[in-house]
Structure 1
Amino acid sequence: MDHQKLRESISETWATDVLPSLSGLIEIPAVSPAYDAAWEEHGQLRAAVEHVRSWVAARGLPGARCEVLRLDGRAPLLLVDVPATPGAAAAGTVLLYGHLDKQPPLGDWSEGLGPWQAVLRGDRLYGRGAADDGYSGYAATTALEAVREAGGEHARAVLLLETGEESGSPDLPAYLERIADRLGEVSLVVCLDGGGGDYERLWLTTSLRGAVQATVTVRVLETGVHSGLGSGIVPSSFRIMRQLLDRVEDPETGEVKVPEMVAPIPDERRAEVAELVALHPKVAVPPLPLLPGMRRASDDAVELVLNNTWRPTLSVTGAGGLPDPSVAGAVLRAWTSLRLSFRLPPSVDAEVARAALEKILTTDVPYGAQVEVGDFMILNGWHAPAPAPWLTAALREVGDRVFGKPCQSLGIGGGIPFMEMLGRRYPRAQFVVTGALGADSNAHVPDEWLHVPFAVQVTEAVAYLLDAHARDGGPA
């Protein structure tokens, strides 16, 4: 493969073709279904899929088929099937994954910026979905084109872009069942929904946490009453909620007390964390915006990383039944509702954890209060298999030729539902979970931005991996 031609092809395509179309994608408010109950009526997810489909179809990849799949009541999915180059027909299938749905705008963006407004400032492309991860379909397609233009090879490639990832990918299992026979033998999965701590090297995600989210409601009265009349006679719903929370989390240490949410940490992951802390301490424990005087949960950086990647944690992410303090009257409220978000170790079964949580919160409730647990969202984590020799060699080449620095592995505290699904379905496949997200890319919050030169390098890295897989990494 002509390495110089590969780089030139990718750089030119990004500058002349990718950035204009990606900017158009940013302008489509394709909010994920969990945050837009009327998504079908609004049609923005369909618009995003059609926008990218049209761009890919116009690229002219030989034999490529672009298809939009729509199952009743489910968010659409874009499937692009690209035949192998002549020398790689026996190399199996490469599955390239990304998503087109977006988080809500969330808060005020800086002056001159907006969630549905593409703004290029220097190396940064601002707008919701730029880095998370609207660029992914463009990067995958550009990498396939460049491999061909540079005289390289690639196996049959299937690009899968869903529109429900930010909602926990609830529709993806149904789509996978629908297309399973068409995918054939998947021997390499490249997920472009990840990233790392800087823009100087390729970051490889080796584990993802799972999650259980649930809304818990404690009811004590049919209606609220004057607190002077009711307090001391009827226990407050908030006090009962506190007692229930103490069942699942130690209030002093934050340790999650649900046995089904705990798993042993593999020795190789402990070693990986120790290496990450030694080589990249600021990446391992990012400089979060702590208030003056606020301390982290531990002074040991290794323990902090393990807390964030392999230990269960609880965050209370929402509340109901609580009026704003400025208008809160002297009322013993009838109910309290909290949204609980548990992050789970990669190897925990999220459904088992969910069932255990529900049982703990609804058994022997103090004072016989009514407790409702529902609105669940569950997500299994993922633990990467050991890399095959060909992949190790290819990643070394990517580090040398593309970035000039070795690739770095790390675990991630968040989750990508698709990875666990594919890990179960294709246990012999190799996985590369990477991407252009940086620690400061502001995914999910205001002023999200994509580091364009880094995204170009990630595209080049994918091209190298495609060519190496075609030569050495087909089915065993």
Structure 2
Amino acid sequence: MNARDPLLPVQPDEAATIGSFVEQVWDAELVPALTDYIGIPAKSPMFDAAWQQNGYIERVITDAARWVESRRIAGLKLEVIRLEGRTPVIFFDVPATRAGSTDTICLYGHLDKQPEFNGWRSDLGPWTPKYLDGLLYGRGGADDGYAVYAAITAIEALDRQGIARPRCVGLIETCEESGSYDLPAYLDALRPRLGNVGLVVCLDSGAGNYDQLWLTTSLRGMVSGVLKVEVLTEGVHSGDASGLVPSSFRILRQVLDRLEDSRTGRLLPEGFHCEIPADRIEQARAAAQILGDEVWKRYPWACGADGQTVLPTTTDPVEGLINRTWRPTLSVTGVDGFPAMKDAGNVLRPYTAFKLSLRLPPLVDGNQAAAALKTLLEDNAPYQAKVTFNADGRVGAAGATGWNAPSLAPWLEDALDAASNAHFGAPCGYIGQGGTIPLMSMLQQGFPAAQMMVCGVLGPKSNAHGPNEFLHVPYGKKLTAAVAQVMAACP
């Protein structure tokens, strides 16, 4: 095939061929590989302290590496890098096929998973994959074990047609669900090998619907950790002690009142808020026009006592999008110190502990917020109770900083629309996401001139981290083809 003019966009017939190739590979290769992947409980180190001994992370990274090396991509080199005492990463390097190209495309994903959680349908389970009506159920397929497989398939789709592209490198970690605390060490070690990164393609994000390509424009940061209140060294008879010994739960409620208005959910310290950029508000309005009430109706609401559906904090789609992407929010994700209901005797408990997840606006520094949160919760404890807050992560990385995307270069904006129209029949949508991907702020600091394509398959009801998580395979196919087309347009 003759060399192409790199300034020419992908032609419609080429886009169709890319789509056909990607669909074939997904059906023949990716769905089976991801089915095997889902069956492996490769929980992130935060949720599996014995991850090295258990060998599940080793297995998924070995399986993925073996699959990548089996693909027919000229010049592909892959290495599983293992820094001592840290989770491993896959690093692959594929030389450019475009003459004179000096930039590098960096593709990112992860292979570690969240824990099981409860509430799965009786016919489903976190480690029992099931493919039904285009949805591949099970933990981790969408978040985001598919990423390394889709990234390589996108490269292969271009190379099979002789469509020129820049050099591509891949960084696939196994610590993301624990806050990526191992990633900075790997970025430092790999920096000389990354080259001049002109485009980052992150496949760990979400979609507003399954009808078009969605570009993530921002990500929240996060501080998570355990807040513990201790009042006794052992439990005592509640009839004997209640009214004299203060309840650890009541003290914990008082401490949390410093942080959150329990009536509205607003975070009280102003330092946890930031000014929302005007362009992000406009993008939220545009996304709300597309999504409408699905912004809040997409969740599995329970029914109240009167049989009516529980209501969200707001039914305004614009406010809903801003709340979940640019405003800080507190969630309690775990609890300790409580016996199971069947074992709950009349005992005043010695302590109460909550696992807190504090989502931060994209422009708030995660480490500074972690330090401020610890001071706020621990100082001047009621009744001189022992109150401690221990953030997850490691020293110097107690919090994860969010990310606000740089302005789009004209070539990328055009390429996103062209790819979305070619493979979805609709233009690209723009949406902020409420989750956290620590790599993005790290890469933006290290490569401030790079463009960012943050996208993913986590659309409505895909329910990452929760029960009945699924990978929407038809969307995954179209996303992979769209990513390939955007990579071809990268200068």
Tell me the TM-score normalized by structure 2.
0.92
What corresponds to 1:250 in structure 2?
261
Q: Residue type matched to 1:255 in 2? A: R
More divergent stretch after superposition (246-255 vs 116-125): 116-125
In structure 2, how many angstroms separate the alpha carbons of the residues matched to 1:98 and 1:85?
23
What pairs up with 1:374-453 in 2 under 5 angstroms?
374-377=390-393, 378-453=399-474
Q: In 2 relative to 1, CA 106–273 (structure 1 residues): closer, same or farther, beyond 3 Å?
A: same
| Match status 1:212 vs 2:223 | yes
Give the C-alpha shift of residue 290 in structure 1. 2.3
What corresponds to 1:84 in structure 2?
96
Q: SS where residue 442 of structure 1 aligns?
A: coil
| Match status 1:336 vs 2:375 | no
Q: In 2 relative to 1, CA 15–333 (structure 1 residues): closer, same or farther, beyond 3 Å?
A: closer
In structure 2, how many angstroms separate the alpha carbons of the residues matched to 1:300 and 1:199?
21
Q: In 2 relative to 1, CA 120–223 (structure 1 residues): closer, same or farther, beyond 3 Å?
A: closer
Give the C-alpha shift of residue 162 in structure 1. 0.8
What corresponds to 1:37 in structure 2?
49
- Partner deviation per Cα, 1:198-219 (whole Å, 9 max, x = no partner): 2110011101111111211112
* 5+ long unaligned stretches in structure 1: none
Give the C-alpha shift of residue 134 in structure 1. 1.3
In structure 1, how many angstroms separate the alpha carbons of the residues matched to 2:408 and 2:315?
32
* Equivalent pair of 2:326/2:361 in contact (CA under 8 Å): yes
Give the C-alpha shift of residue 233 in structure 1. 2.4
In structure 2, how many angstroms separate the alpha carbons of the residues matched to 1:262 and 1:417?
19
In structure 2, how many angstroms separate the alpha carbons of the residues matched to 1:116 and 1:239?
38
What corresponds to 1:137 in structure 2?
148
Q: In 2 relative to 1, CA 272–157 (structure 1 residues): closer, same or farther, beyond 3 Å?
A: same
* Equivalent pair of 1:286/1:439 in contact (CA under 8 Å): no
What corresponds to 2:296 in structure 1?
285
| Match status 1:196 vs 2:207 | yes
In structure 2, how many angstroms separate the alpha carbons of the residues matched to 1:129 and 1:112?
18
Q: SS where residue 285 of structure 1 aligns?
A: helix
What corresponds to 1:46 in structure 2?
58
Q: Residue type matched to 1:70 in 2? A: R
* Equivalent pair of 1:193/1:435 in contact (CA under 8 Å): yes
* Equivalent pair of 1:209/1:344 in contact (CA under 8 Å): yes
| Match status 1:298 vs 2:319 | no
Q: In 2 relative to 1, CA 230–51 (structure 1 residues): closer, same or farther, beyond 3 Å?
A: same
* Equivalent pair of 1:203/1:408 in contact (CA under 8 Å): yes
Q: Residue type matched to 1:318 in 2? A: G
* Equivalent pair of 2:80/2:91 in contact (CA under 8 Å): yes
Structure 1's consecutive aligned runs of 4 or more residues displaced over 6 angstroms after TM superposition are: none
What pairs up with 1:103-142 in 2 under 5 angstroms?
103-107=114-118, 109-142=120-153
Residue in structure 1 matching 2:335, options 294, 319, 322: 319
| Match status 1:21 vs 2:33 | yes
Residue in structure 1 matching 2:481, options 445, 456, 460: 460
Q: In 2 relative to 1, CA 340–3 (structure 1 residues): closer, same or farther, beyond 3 Å?
A: closer
Give the C-alpha shift of residue 111 in structure 1. 4.3
| Match status 1:60 vs 2:81 | no
In the alignment of these two chains, the number of paired residues is: 469
* Equivalent pair of 2:112/2:177 in contact (CA under 8 Å): yes
* Equivalent pair of 1:188/1:431 in contact (CA under 8 Å): yes
Tell me the TM-score normalized by structure 1.
0.94
| Match status 1:307 vs 2:318 | no
* Equivalent pair of 2:105/2:167 in contact (CA under 8 Å): yes
Give the C-alpha shift of residue 387 in structure 1. 0.4
* Equivalent pair of 1:276/1:284 in contact (CA under 8 Å): no
What corresponds to 1:347 in structure 2?
363
CA RMSD of aligned residues (A): 1.7
- Partner deviation per Cα, 1:251-281 (whole Å, 9 max, x = no partner): 2211111222111111111111111112211
* Equivalent pair of 2:298/2:461 in contact (CA under 8 Å): no
More divergent stretch after superposition (189-198 vs 222-231): 222-231
Give the C-alpha shift of residue 363 in structure 1. 1.5
- Partner deviation per Cα, 1:90-115 (whole Å, 9 max, x = no partner): 24110001111112222254344333
In structure 2, how many angstroms separate the alpha carbons of the residues matched to 1:264 and 1:71?
39
More divergent stretch after superposition (176-185 vs 438-447): 438-447
In structure 1, how many angstroms separate the alpha carbons of the residues matched to 2:376 and 2:486?
47
What corresponds to 1:11 in structure 2?
23
What corresponds to 2:280 in structure 1?
269
Give the C-alpha shift of residue 13 in structure 1. 1.9
* Equivalent pair of 1:109/1:447 in contact (CA under 8 Å): yes
Give the C-alpha shift of residue 384 in structure 1. 0.5
In structure 1, how many angstroms separate the alpha carbons of the residues matched to 2:390 and 2:89?
28
Give the C-alpha shift of residue 241 in structure 1. 1.2
Q: SS where residue 150 of structure 2 aligns?
A: helix
Identity level (%): 46
Q: Residue type matched to 1:443 in 2? A: A
What pairs up with 1:213-232 in 2 under 5 angstroms?
213-232=224-243
More divergent stretch after superposition (183-192 vs 216-225): 216-225
What corresponds to 2:4 in structure 1?
none
More divergent stretch after superposition (353-362 vs 383-392): 353-362
In structure 2, how many angstroms separate the alpha carbons of the residues matched to 1:166 and 1:442?
15
* Equivalent pair of 2:73/2:159 in contact (CA under 8 Å): no
* Equivalent pair of 1:3/1:150 in contact (CA under 8 Å): no
In structure 2, how many angstroms separate the alpha carbons of the residues matched to 1:6 and 1:348?
40
